[in-house]
Amino acid sequence: MPLPDAEAVFESLAKKIQADADRNFALVGIHTGGVWLAERLHRELGIKQPFGTLDVAFYRDDFDKIGLHPQVKPSEIPFAVEDAHILLVDDVLQTGRTIRAAINELFDYGRPASISLAALVDRGGRELPIAAQYTGITLELPADKMLELKRGKNGKLSFHLYDKSLPE
């Protein structure tokens, strides 16, 4: 199955967000792919306020089943969340459970005025009522496949598709 060009999908997502430039968002990326995207959006959109990062490992509802990911990264929100308009950024939106975990963690930092969601890829399959306001592309993929965003040493983004049953 041919996968789309991740760089072109990113450009599409950035244009959609830029069309809403009057929103004055504070960016927060979810580790790992969402942080890469937030970093690029921060630069491309010329946002002055530093962007934040979240690692939702401790907030996941399947933590007791899958355990702790071996590479937990610290969350860092270098701005006041209280009354901020947050643009939460993630690479692949599927079940909605990662987003739910991210929202729970954000509220530990304060009560934002609003939270919008930007996802590079929406692949459907929701288990929770979560929707992205900004999407680069919608892809229908087999349920037994995982879509992973990769970043090369030069910063170039690409997609990788693999079987769910196989380790990364």
Per residue in 135-167, pLDDT (tens digit) is 999 999 998 999 999 999 999 999 999 998 755
Q: How far is it, in rounded angstroms, from Cα 101 to Cα 75?
A: 13
What is residue 141's predicted lDDT score, i.e. its pLDDT? 92
Calculate mean pLDDT across residues 16-26.
87
pLDDT value of residue 66: 47
* Average pLDDT rounded to a whole number, residues 40-45: 95
Helices (runs of H) and strands (runs of E) counted in the chain: 4, 7
| Tokens 């990264």, located at residue | 73
Give the C-alpha separation, 115 to 25, whole Å.
9
More confident residue, 108 or 58: 108
- As a whole number of angstroms, the distance between CA 157 and CA 127 comes to 27
pLDDT tens-digit series, residues 67-100:
555 566 789 999 999 999 999 999 999 999 999 9
pLDDT at 60: 65
Q: pLDDT tens digit string along 43-69?
A: 999 999 999 999 998 776 654 554 555
Q: Which domains does the chain have, with CATH numbers?
A: 6-163 (3.40.50.2020)
> For 24-38, what is the mean pLDDT?
96
> Could you tell me the pTM of the whole model?
0.91
DSSP 91: E
Q: What is the CA radius of gyration of the chain?
A: 15
